[in-house]
Structure 1
Amino acid sequence: MSGAAAPGRIALLGGGAVGSFVAGSLAAAGHEVVLIDAWPEHVAAIQANGLLLNSPEGAQRTHPEAWHLGEAHRLRSLDAEVAFLTVKLYDTDWAAALLATWLSPSVPVVTLQNALVEERVARALGWGRVLGAIGSGLDVLLAGPGEMQRSRKRGAAGGTVFKVGEVHGRRTPRAERIAALLSAADTSAVTTDLWTERWSKLTANTMTSGLSGLTGLSLKQVYSREDTRRIAIRLAAEAIAVGEALGFRLQKLFGEPPETWRHAAQGDPQAKTAALAAMAVQAASMAEGGMSGTLQDLSKGRPTEVAFFNGYIAQEAARLGLPAPTHARIAALIAEAERGRLPLDPGNIARIAGQTESTTA
């Protein structure tokens, strides 16, 4: 989808890397934007000096309105056309309840988050108000209060970055409008298969984010190194098998069909070559130093979302009687890292690969 969307009033709950990137991009495009966040220094910096967006294309200072979380009650008088939920996955339940309390019941809510969270949000808001949005290839980092950094150029992800979908799968005017809004940040389109898109993004996240976090490697390094790419192939095959058992039929993952990843994990040379090449394409589209969300969280001493990524795959695999040992190891190792009992180091690659039974340093 291309072309500028007519000005609108938009609220975002969650001012992390994704929320700040989208808020700043929308504000730069002329929309009235309210960004609500719990980090006082971040809110104060935006209020005082605006939000600085750094990207490979250059720096741009934008001026969304910023509210502290304690001011969320002001939403009751905000005539917004849409609200985006951009909090961490573990904050979804209370954030959805907050929007249900203060946001006008006529305002749709878009889950611009990772993993399958729409059902959790719908418990608070009702299914009729909920849309999903997937953001792929963002590679964004909240560098400090009032400063967001992106390490990938606009349009460089090799496909549509934002995909907006109704939970019932039909194309609607409001989904078209939201996709048009997000085109201010990067390429966007409406999807009529939200759930498959969700599983595809979840699979991609589980291949790299926890792996990056545990090793301290950038995403570009994870996509470039032979040892990490071998693990990523195993992670992809395990997640694809679980997804298929749950009824998700992926068309392609990083440009390759599911069979490529499955056969590559089984040792097929031709499939392995294709899978490695697909990851090399991803690496080539990235700037140096881009950190996964998991590595960012661990570096700041914050909880990660891996329980909703690899942990979720491992739990569903166990429930279905399927093997997902690589996902289970990553989830267990991340839990140790979150407690400060495991350093972030490439030496953890052996642990992730199952070459040692130890989960502590």
Structure 2
Amino acid sequence: MKYAVLGAGAMGLRYGVLLQEAGFEVDFVDIWDKQIETIKQQNGVFVSRDGENKHLVPINITSPEDYMGSPDVWIVFVKQMQLADALNRAEHLFTKEQYVVAPMNGMGHIEKLDKYFEKDKVISGTAMIATVLNGPGDVDFMGPSGAGSMKLVNQNETPDEVTKQIANDFTKANLNPEITTNFQGTLMAKVILNSVCNTLCTMFGIKMGEFIQAPTTEALSKQLINEAFDVCERAGIKLLNTRQQEWETIKFAATKSMPLHYPSMYQDMSKHRPTEVDYINGYIYELGKKYNYEATTHDYLRNLVHLAEFTNDFDPETLTAEVE
């Protein structure tokens, strides 16, 4: 099958490059002009693994307006807050026959994808794969070849032959996919993990391996896990893990699979970009409110991240209030 990646950031580049190296035809479509210009000037993207063996990989990248291809499958890795604009710009490229795979962070993307794709062709999932975009045209794959794993889940919870073929292709690309049949439970499991690791690592500017060593980490994590599970129980969402298993998953990610990784939220914060906290901790809080439950710790952390965003970009010269 032919693939097109919409959103050629860190994860989009990793998926697309690995599929391309596995022998599949892949195009890249992005809405960041600097990324497109740099990659075209370089005649490819520079790829490293854990900061070593930096080399140029030729790829085909264009804007949605300039793209002329017709893929069988779209792979979407656009930030949640940019997704509506990206889909709108690419609308003329979508057909009723195409499938879309979107293993994005946070929640909010499914409703947007449903406006452009048939619901039985929408596949989401999770990606436990650490990748860093050092800058335009420069990406670092974290971990050894074959590191990381992912889950694929159909919106209609019924895997068809195309879904199985996508999983086979992803397996050949060393993305280690697993097909599940619990749509909301699969997505929320990753949201809960991100609501702990992404948010807390970002607030304190630490790697996941540093985060897990703190004596207060277990208590903080379990407080957030318990609130999130309380919300999901009230919303009728059956999660893949128990509360204890979710904590064990976080420990494994931080100690074994991604200890040297700064989560994507930290990468956004450090580069003065808006974070996805509203689609992670904020989503949990807003979902709880629908069922008369206040996930107050998640709301508090969401507001702390927004405060950190503000102070990160604060210019004292813009302060106009007089101090008496």
Per the TM superposition, whether the score is higher than 0.5 is yes
For residues 296 and 34 of structure 2, what CA distance do their matches in structure 1 show? 41
Choose from 202, 211, 220 the match for 1:231: 220
Pair 1:127 & 2:119 matched: yes
Deviation at 1:298, TM superposition (A): 0.7
Mapped to 1, the partners of 2:283 and 2:18 lie a distance apart of: 32
Q: Is the 2:65–2:90 contact (alpha carbons within 8 Å) kept by the matching residues of 1?
A: no
Match of 2:195 in 1: 206
- Give the direction of change, closer, same or farther, for the CA distance of 1:61–1:341 in structure 2 (3 Å limit): closer
Aligned counterpart in structure 2 of residue 307 of structure 1, from 274, 278, 290: 278
Shift of 1:54: 2.0
C-alpha distance after superposition, 1:96-133 (max 9, x if no partner): 33333223332222223123321221023342442213
Q: Which residue does the alignment assign to 2:287?
A: 316
What pairs up with 1:16-27 in 2 under 5 angstroms?
16-27=9-20
For 2:262 and 2:300, locate their aligned partners in 1 and report how far apart those are by CA, in whole Å. 21
Matches within 5 A, 1:1-361: 8-47=1-40, 48-56=42-50, 59=53, 61-67=56-62, 69=63, 72-75=64-67, 77-116=68-107, 117-136=109-128, 138-157=129-148, 161-183=149-171, 184-252=173-241, 257-258=242-243, 275=247, 279-286=250-257, 289-340=260-311
SS in 2 for 1:335: helix
> Partner of 1:210: helix, strand, or coil?
helix
SS at the partner of 1:125? coil
TM-score, normalised to structure 2, is 0.87
Give the % identical residues: 22
Tell me the matched-pair count. Answer: 310
Offset at residue 341 of structure 1 (A): 6.0
For normalisation by structure 1, the TM-score amounts to 0.78
Aligned counterparts of 2:245 and 2:252: Cα–Cα separation in 1: 16
Q: Which amino acid aligns with 1:73?
A: E
RMSD: 2.4
Counterparts of 1:162 and 1:286, CA distance in 2: 13
Q: Deviations over 1:128-168 (max 9, x none)?
A: 442213212x11110122221133334554xxx22222211
In 2, the alpha carbon distance for the partners of 1:204 and 1:10 equals: 29
Amino acid at match of 1:153: P
* Residue segments in structure 2 that go unaligned for 5+ positions in a row: 315-324
Q: Secondary structure at the match of 1:52?
A: strand
